[in-house]
Amino acid sequence: MNTRVLDATEPSGLAGAVSEASGILRQGGLVAFPTETVYGLGANALDINAVAGIFHAKGRPADNPLIVHIANRCQMGQLAKNIPEEALTLAHAFWPGPLTLVLESREIVPRVVTGGLDSVGLRVPAHPVALALLRESGLPLAAPSANLSGRPSPTTSAHVLDDLDGRIDAVLDGGPCGVGVESTVLDIRGGRPLLLRPGGVTPAQIERVLGRACPVAFWSGGETAAPPSPGLKYVHYAPQAPLWLVRGGPDAVQRMLKAMRDDFASRGQNVGLLLSAETAAALGETEAEVLGSRDEPDVMAANLYAALRRFDARGTDVILAEGFSDRGMGLALMNRLVKAAGPRLIEAE
C-alpha cells in the first residue's frame, strides 16, 4: 500500500486535504491525523473492518480499547449512555482538549473498539485539522496514537511515516503537536472520577472543576490485580535502546548520572543522555537531548517523544534519563518515563 501524505499545514491546503481524508475514511480506510496531543491513527469507529485494520497496522493487542474522537459534546449521547452530570461538566470545561472520558458504552459502538469492555472512551480533540476532519467526515473516529505498538507516540507526520509508511492509506500533515503527550484518561462512570492515565489535563485541574478529589489508579505491573485500563499493562513509549531512569534530589541525580555515564562509556557503550537544561549545564553535556527547563514540565513533556525517537536514529546503545518532579504536567511526563524505563528505575541518594 502506498501511504499518501496530505498537506494540511497551510490554511490554503486544509480544505482539499481534509476532503480527501474524509473520502478515504468513509470508504473504510485508515488515515493518521494530528491532534493537540499526538498523531492519531483514525478509522470509522462504527465500521468493524476499518477498526480491525487499526489493530493490524499497529500490531496492537486486541484487548486494548481505542479512544473514540467526536466533533463536539452533543455527540456524547449517540455513543454513551447514563452520562452523569459530572461528565457533562468536565466536557464543558475541557473539550475540545486533552481529556478522554470513559463512559458506559451504547450498543452501537462495536466491541472491537472497546476491546470487549462495556465502556467507551470519548474525546473532542483541540486541533483545527482534527476538528475539520471530524466535521467533514461526519464520523466518530476511533484513533489510538499512530505509532507501531510499543513505540513512542508520534508528534510529527514524519514520526508517523517512520512507523506506518506502507501500512496505512494516508497521513494528514498538520505540523508538530503542541501538548506532546497523550490525553488524560478519566473514568467518570457513576459520576465518580478515577484517573486511569495522566496526560494533558492535570488531576488538580479536574479537582478544581469537580470540587472533589480525583483518585488515581495507575497500574504499575504485577500479575494479580487487573489493570483498570487495559492499555496500562503493556510496555509503552519505549525507544529501542534500554532507558535507565534516575530519580531523587537534583544533586544526587546528577552524581549518579555522571557515574553511570562514565561507567557505560568505559565499556564502549554509546551513551545518550535525556536531561533538563539545568542538569545538562551542570554536567557540561553538550550532546545531550535537552527537554527544557526543569521549571517548565509542559515544555519538557512536549519534547519527550521526539527526543526518544532521535536516540534510535543516532544508534544510541543506552539512554540515561533524569527523573523530574511529578507536579503539574510532570505527572504525565514521569509516567511516560517510568514506563519507558520498565525495571530500570534507580533511586539516587
Q: What is the CA radius of gyration of the chain?
A: 20
Smallest distance from ligand TXA to CB 94, Å: 12
Q: Does residue 112 bind ligand TXA (CB under 6 A)?
A: no
Give the residues lining the site for Mg ion (CB under 5 A). Answer: 145
- What is the grid cell recorded at 202? 492535570
Q: Which is nearer to ligand TXA, 218 or 264 (CB)?
A: 218
Who contacts 85 (Cβ-Cβ below 8 Å, separation ≥6)? Answer: 191
Smallest distance from ligand TXA to CB 35, Å: 5
Shortest CA distance to 53 belongs to which of 20, 21, 30?
Answer: 30
Q: What is the distance between the terminal CA atoms of the chain, rounded to a whole angstrom?
A: 52
Determine which residue in the list 22, 137, 157, 229 makes contact with ligand TXA, applying CB under 6 A.
229
Q: Which is nearer to ligand TXA, 22 or 100 (CB)?
A: 100
Determine which residue in the list 18, 22, 35, 298 makes contact with ligand TXA, applying CB under 6 A.
35
**246, containing H or E segment:** strand 243-247
- What is the grid cell recorded at 113? 473498539
Size of the site for ligand TXA (CB under 6 A): 29
Q: Which is nearer to ligand TXA, 123 or 261 (CB)?
A: 123
Q: Which is nearer to ligand TXA, 219 or 264 (CB)?
A: 219
Who contacts 82 (Cβ-Cβ below 8 Å, separation ≥6)? Answer: 103, 104, 189
The residue type at 42 = G
Of ligand TXA, Mg ion, none, which one does residue 131 interact with (CB within 5 to 8 Å by kind)? Answer: none
Q: Which is nearer to ligand TXA, 93 or 117 (CB)?
A: 117
Smallest distance from Mg ion to CB 339, Å: 11
Q: Build a one-symbol-per-residue string for 132-171: x at contacts with ligand TXA by CB under 6 A, - elsewhere.
A: -----------xxx--------------------------
Q: Does residue 120 bind ligand TXA (CB under 6 A)?
A: yes
- By the 8 A CB rule, do 153 and 182 touch? yes
Q: What share of the chain is helix, strand, coil (3-state, %, to 5)?
A: 40, 20, 45
CA–CA distance, 306 with 268 (Å, rounded to integer): 25
Helix (H, G, I), strand (E, B) or coil at 276: coil
Smallest distance from ligand TXA to CB 261, Å: 32
- What is the grid cell recorded at 188? 467518570
Determine which residue in the list 14, 196, 318, 320 makes contact with ligand TXA, applying CB under 6 A.
196
Q: Does residue 53 bind ligand TXA (CB under 6 A)?
A: no
Angle of the 85-94 helix axis to the 203-210 helix axis, nearest 10: 120
Smallest distance from ligand TXA to CB 40, Å: 3
Of Mg ion, ligand TXA, none, which one does residue 119 interact with (CB within 5 to 8 Å by kind)? Answer: ligand TXA
- By the 8 A CB rule, do 228 and 210 touch? no
The residue type at 93 = A
Residue nearest to ligand TXA (CB): 231
Binding segment toward ligand TXA, per CB under 6 A, in 23-31, 35-43, 206-214, 257-265: 35-43
Q: Which is nearer to Mg ion, 66 or 275 (CB)?
A: 66
Shortest CA distance to 286 belongs to which of 275, 294, 297, 301?
Answer: 275
Smallest distance from ligand TXA to CB 86, Å: 17
Of Mg ion, ligand TXA, none, which one does residue 114 interact with (CB within 5 to 8 Å by kind)? Answer: ligand TXA
- What is the grid cell recorded at 12? 490554503
CA–CA distance, 299 with 249 (Å, rounded to integer): 21
Of ligand TXA, Mg ion, none, which one does residue 9 interact with (CB within 5 to 8 Å by kind)? Answer: none
Our CA angle for 35, 78, 233, nearest 5°, is 55
- What is the grid cell recorded at 189? 462512570
Interacting residue ranges for ligand TXA, rule: CB under 6 A: 35, 37-38, 40, 64-67, 98, 100, 102, 114, 117, 119-121, 125, 143-145, 182-183, 185, 196-197, 229-232
